[in-house]
Amino acid sequence: MSRRVAVVANAGFYVGPDLARLLAAREHDLVLGDPAAGLVEELTGAGAAVEVVEGVADLGDADAPARLVAAAQERFGRLDSAVMFSGQIIQGRMLDASLDDLRAVTRGNVEAPFHFLQAVLPPMVAAGGGQALVITSASGLRPTWGAPLYSSTRAAANMLVQNAAMEVSRSGVQVNSVGTNFMDFPAFRAASGADDPEIRARIESQVPMRRLGSMEEFAAFCAVFCDGSSGFTTGQNVGYAGGWDAL
């Protein structure tokens, strides 16, 4: 049997590099969007065939996910799984927000998943199987003080995922989302001030598990939604936030 093929739409930051490494170790060939420096050499050294697509960071542009899918089909002739993350945070009160604010946050949080799903699902349906994972935010699972537009549009993305899953489930295609918060990566630490030990302690006090989540453990959690090992879960919006979304 030929190796599975996975698209990692954002392979340059956040969980993308760690998830690509994990999928390569699990016998996947990869299509990588804008990979981090050195990642391609690392993965090919581990035995994976890798196709690189540059200039696809803005998944709000419908052409970006379409190019990733075309690259998978042209290089490998198949697409077994695909994962994406995107988003923009606009903070402040809902009553103080403008329509321009709403439109700006909608592009990354709703339009990007829309374009991604429209691109990756048809070839999976035609093949009779596949897995699509959209990484959103745990703020889409509960009202979030100080980020109402972000929370609302993330919730819209989660519902988009569930509706897409319903449409394609009879074709054997899985569509799920995972929503994060309190993750230990540079952009979150910079935005929240968590590189300051005192601020980090205050932030971690808001998390039931009293710490930030790592990219390595998050990649391990995501892998089951895109490595073909579990084929009986679809239409789920799962929180990954140390219990903040549920407790």
- SS3 sequence of 167-228: HHHHHCEEEEEEEECCECCHHHHHHHCCCCHHHHHHHHHCCCCCCCECHHHHHHHHHCCCCC
The tokens describing 155, both together, are 């919730």
d(CA 155, CA 138): 9
pLDDT number for residue 247: 80
Task: Encode pLDDT of 170-220 as tens digits.
Answer: 999 999 999 999 999 988 898 889 999 999 999 999 999 999 999 999 999
pLDDT number for residue 89: 82
The tokens describing 86, both together, are 């995107």
Task: Encode pLDDT of 63-112 as tens digits.
Answer: 999 999 999 999 999 999 999 999 888 888 989 999 999 999 999 999 99
CB-CB contact of 124 with 130 (8 Å): yes
For 10, phi then psi, to 5°, come to: -125, 85
When the pLDDT of each residue in the chain is averaged and rounded to a whole number, the result is 96
Torsion, CA 244, CA 59, CA 184, CA 133, rounded to 10 = 60
- 221 or 190: which carries more pLDDT confidence? 221
pLDDT number for residue 113: 98
Res. 2: pLDDT tops 90:
no
Task: Encode pLDDT of 19-36 as tens digits.
Answer: 999 999 999 999 999 999
* pTM for the full predicted model: 0.95
Task: Encode pLDDT of 113-158 as tens digits.
Answer: 999 999 999 999 999 999 999 999 999 999 998 899 999 999 999 9
The domains of the chain, with CATH numbers, are 4-181+215-238 (3.40.50.720)
pLDDT number for residue 91: 84
The tokens describing 16, both together, are 């993308």
| pLDDT band at 1; cut points 50, 70, 90 | low
